[in-house]
Amino acid sequence: MPRSRKQKFNKGKGKHGGDVWKPERTDKWEIPSENAKFRAYYEKQKIMQPEEWEPFMKSMSSTLPLTFRVTGSRAIAEELNDFIKTHHLPLLTGITFAGEPVEAPKQVSWYPQGLVWQLNIGKSVVRKSDEFRHFQRFLVYETDAGNISRQELVSMIPPLLLDVQPHHYVMDMCAAPGSKSAQLLEALHAADVSTASAIPSGLLIANDSEYKRTHMLVHQTGRLASPALMVTNLDASGYPNIKIPSEHGSGLTNLKFDRILADVPCSGDGTLRKNVNIWRDWSLSIPNGLHSLQLRILLRGMKMLKAGGLLVYSTCSLNPVENEAVLAAALNQSAGEFSIVDVSDQLPGLIRRPGMDTWTVATNKDGTIHDTYAEYEKAIADKEPPKRLLPTLWPPENAKSLHLERCMRILPQDQDTGAFFVALLQKARRPDATSSGAQEVVLPKRKAEDDPDGQPEQKRTKADGEEEADGVVGHVYSEQPFYYIDEDNEQMKEGLRTLNLSPNFPSHLLFARASKGDTIRSVFLTNEIIRSILLNNDTERIRLINCGTKVIAEHSTGGSSRAFRFLHDGVSLVLPYVKPEEILQASLEDLKVLLAGYNPTFEELQEPLRNALLDKTGTSYLLRIPSSESQSFKQPLNLPLWKAAKSAGLLLDKKARSAVSLRMFGEDVSPVGKEQGKKRRGKEAEAAGPAEAVDGEQEGELMPEVLDGEEDELPAFPDSSGGEIAGAEEEATIDTQRA
């Protein structure tokens, strides 16, 4: 018997931007975990064998296990992953609760390097078990520090198939809230070592048409400080050509991408396990309406791809009209230039089902099915509908020759996940590839003035149920200007000198966000390709929201005196350029003192750090705790430090302070941590009962989810995962300047 979950929902603003259905957290209504139309429709589509329906429904109506990914560049991630394995896992293994064994976290076998973990733990266990509470705190702080990301398992597949390399130009067309963008960025930074970031020559453009959601994107990707990232706010189906200097000779050429992710807006019924309101609101007309936008986005992606490049098309919908139908139409339009790649040998261990080459279309809300477009046309011949469904919703005659079976459909009962659809496309290496029996297709058209390649297209009638591409809804572009700082700018030259950066620091890649001539407050670093893009394109035309990463900032030292300071996010980028003799060496004891107080005096620190600080004349330094100081970590820890006349302080925000503390000392020695400990002990003594959650720990949740519609609250535990349309879990913090 499927169990019900208590939640009340209201209809969101109804665009395909992630808030079609907005859950309200309340116990007033019960949403049943079933929907007769849903079942009838999918039974007709034959997405699985009849006997599989029971396990499918059972799985769809049960709670999704929590999955998290250890993030960051490869070396850093491996180190933290080892720490989970060697430190936490033994503590969480063999635990019993109420006489029952509690499942320990387990690594997902098909994810490279075992960086993904899956947990199935009830709230009461987290509440009552010291071991799990400790693990919870670790997860929360490492998430805040950007080292761990909660993400739905199936949502991790598309970036893996793209096989991104550090030199690739990558586009994530529909990127918010950004969990897949974060994975793509990590792949660009695969060559980083654990103590320093190599500046990749590649690029990631993370785009989303919803302005508010681009800010989630900035926050999400900001966790991996990258000079190779740009965030834009455009309708992907009309993404403009970006100009870069031509490789051969003079002049400009259109930027083409090596890798493109089209994780398009969809009806989201694959996320039913999280977004239970879909059981109630599931509709037959939404997928038909989205098909056209999905196809236009895919076609634009295909145009922007380099010859030989790879493109992933994915949705969190089960529906063939949003999946195989879109691919079939796009493949036929491309006349043999693209093919679906056979990925059956990739991600061994991941259970997947083949794509389908037959399906039917529900042509009205009541579920009337027409097997072919011809049948549908006949049925409506004597009616005068204002809009007609697109023929591309149906399987084309050549469906069997398109290798749609190479697509993968993930079903929830196979490995306890959400449902998902993915296909990997490759563009032929030579542009003159011959057609393999491609069929002519009637495609949804864009308005002539929106066509990025400048080919006027004819007007057409809007198809039934079809929605307009939401483009960039209702937001006037008003970002602060971006400008590269002149290399002879006096303020900058002096700043770099006082930070002891070596002369080979790439200062031509530094930019500021202010009007030229204003005092520089924050300094961002990009790589060469982003510089090229910014210098050759109007940032307003490409609706640039953010790019590069903030590496240093101005610091008021009282009165009129100002200096630059290192920033935590930028440490790995500036580190290779800091003169080694200017890096301050500290012991683990020094670190504890610096974490426990905001501005300890030099006297509280040990030799040789105390004397080094007395000798130094600058104000901002990098502090190094050598790996020999810690039993758990093989790499040194580098942190930014501020030096005043008689005291010094770590330049870390409160959460980063707690994360470093938990990682290095197994306890939170920071002022916030101490305060929390005091509160908890007080409550325990008062109630003489179970420990209660204190700030920064939500009661009984290992990593509670942030649901759509809660963007304005700052969650205690950010959940960066999924981002699927229908009320997916989303980041709450909105701060464009952060990265």
Ligand X SMILES: C[S@@+](CC[C@H](N)C(=O)[O-])C[C@H]1O[C@@H](n2cnc3c(N)ncnc32)[C@H](O)[C@@H]1O
Active site (catalytic) residues: 316
- Max CA-CA distance within the chain? 92
Q: Residue 263, annotated ligand binder? A: yes
C-alpha atoms less than 13 angstroms from C-alpha of 711 in its C-beta half-sphere: 21
Q: Give the phi and the psi of residue 357 in degrees, each rounded to 5.
A: -115, 5
Cβ closest to ligand X, residue 640 vs residue 722: 722
Q: Residue 180, annotated ligand binder? A: yes
Q: Residue 176, annotated ligand binder? A: yes
Give the dihedral sign, CA 260/266/269/272.
positive
Q: Is residue 705 involved in binding ligand X (CB under 6 A)?
A: no
With contacts defined by CB under 6 A, how many residues of the chain interact with ligand X? 27
Q: Is residue 265 involved in binding ligand X (CB under 6 A)?
A: yes
| CB contact at 8 A, 47 and 356 | yes
Residue 124: count other Cβ atoms within 10 Å of its Cβ: 12
Q: Residue 668, annotated ligand binder? A: no
Q: Residue 178, annotated ligand binder? A: yes
Q: Exactly one of 178, 287, 301, 704 binds ligand X (CB under 6 A); which one?
A: 178
d(CA 190, CA 197): 9
Q: Exactly one of 186, 235, 629, 731 binds ligand X (CB under 6 A); which one?
A: 235
Q: Exactly one of 20, 160, 174, 438 binds ligand X (CB under 6 A); which one?
A: 174
Q: Exactly one of 425, 725, 726, 739 binds ligand X (CB under 6 A); which one?
A: 725
Per-residue binding letters, 236-255, with ligand X (x by CB under 6 A)? xx------------------
d(CA 305, CA 310): 7
In the region spanning residues 470 to 509, those forming contacts with ligand X, defined by CB under 6 A, are: 470
Q: Is residue 16 involved in binding ligand X (CB under 6 A)?
A: yes
Q: Is residue 179 involved in binding ligand X (CB under 6 A)?
A: yes
**Burial environment of residue 580 by CB neighbours within 10 A (0 to 12, 13 to 18, 19 or more):** exposed
Q: Residue 177, annotated ligand binder? A: yes
Cβ closest to ligand X, residue 157 vs residue 591: 157
Cβ closest to ligand X, residue 236 vs residue 327: 236
**Segment lying near ligand X (by CB under 6 A), choices 136-144, 177-185, 354-362, 593-601:** 177-185
Tell me the closest approach of the beta carbon of residue 303 to ligand X, in angstroms: 15
Cβ closest to ligand X, residue 180 vs residue 403: 180
d(CA 96, CA 641): 44
Q: Is residue 417 involved in binding ligand X (CB under 6 A)?
A: no
Q: Residue 266, annotated ligand binder? A: no
Q: Is residue 12 involved in binding ligand X (CB under 6 A)?
A: no
| CB contact at 8 A, 562 and 556 | yes
Tell me the closest approach of the beta carbon of residue 83 to ligand X, in angstroms: 26
- Angle between the N-to-C axes of helices 588-596 and 654-665, in degrees from 0 to 180, rounded to the nearest 10: 150
Q: Is residue 469 involved in binding ligand X (CB under 6 A)?
A: yes
- Angle between the N-to-C axes of helices 53-60 and 36-45, in degrees from 0 to 180, rounded to the nearest 10: 140
Q: Exactly one of 35, 155, 277, 539 binds ligand X (CB under 6 A); which one?
A: 155
Q: Exactly one of 192, 263, 357, 710 binds ligand X (CB under 6 A); which one?
A: 263
Residue nearest to ligand X (CB): 723
Tell me the closest approach of the beta carbon of residue 371 to ligand X, in angstroms: 29
Q: For residue 170, what are the contacts with CB-CB under 8 A and spacing of at least 6?
A: 162, 164, 184, 188, 202, 203, 204, 205, 257, 258, 259, 260, 261
Q: Exactly one of 287, 309, 718, 723 binds ligand X (CB under 6 A); which one?
A: 723
Q: Residue 407, annotated ligand binder? A: no
Write b or e for each residue in 534-550: b if 16 or more Cβ atoms lie within 10 A of its Cβ, otherwise e: beebebeebbbbbbbbb
d(CA 298, CA 312): 9
DSSP, residue by residue, 622-637? EEEE-GGG-SS-SS-E
Residue 297: count other Cβ atoms within 10 Å of its Cβ: 26
In the region spanning residues 190 to 229, those forming contacts with ligand X, defined by CB under 6 A, are: 208-210, 213
Q: From its phi and psi, is residue 685 left (phi > 0), alpha (psi between -120 and 50) or beta? A: alpha
Site residues for ligand X per CB under 6 A: 16-18, 155, 173-180, 208-210, 213, 235-237, 263, 265, 293, 469-470, 723-725
> Would you list which residues are annotated within the binding site for S-adenosyl-L-methionine?
174-180, 208, 235, 263
Question: Binding site: what residues are annotated?
Answer: 174-180, 208, 235, 263
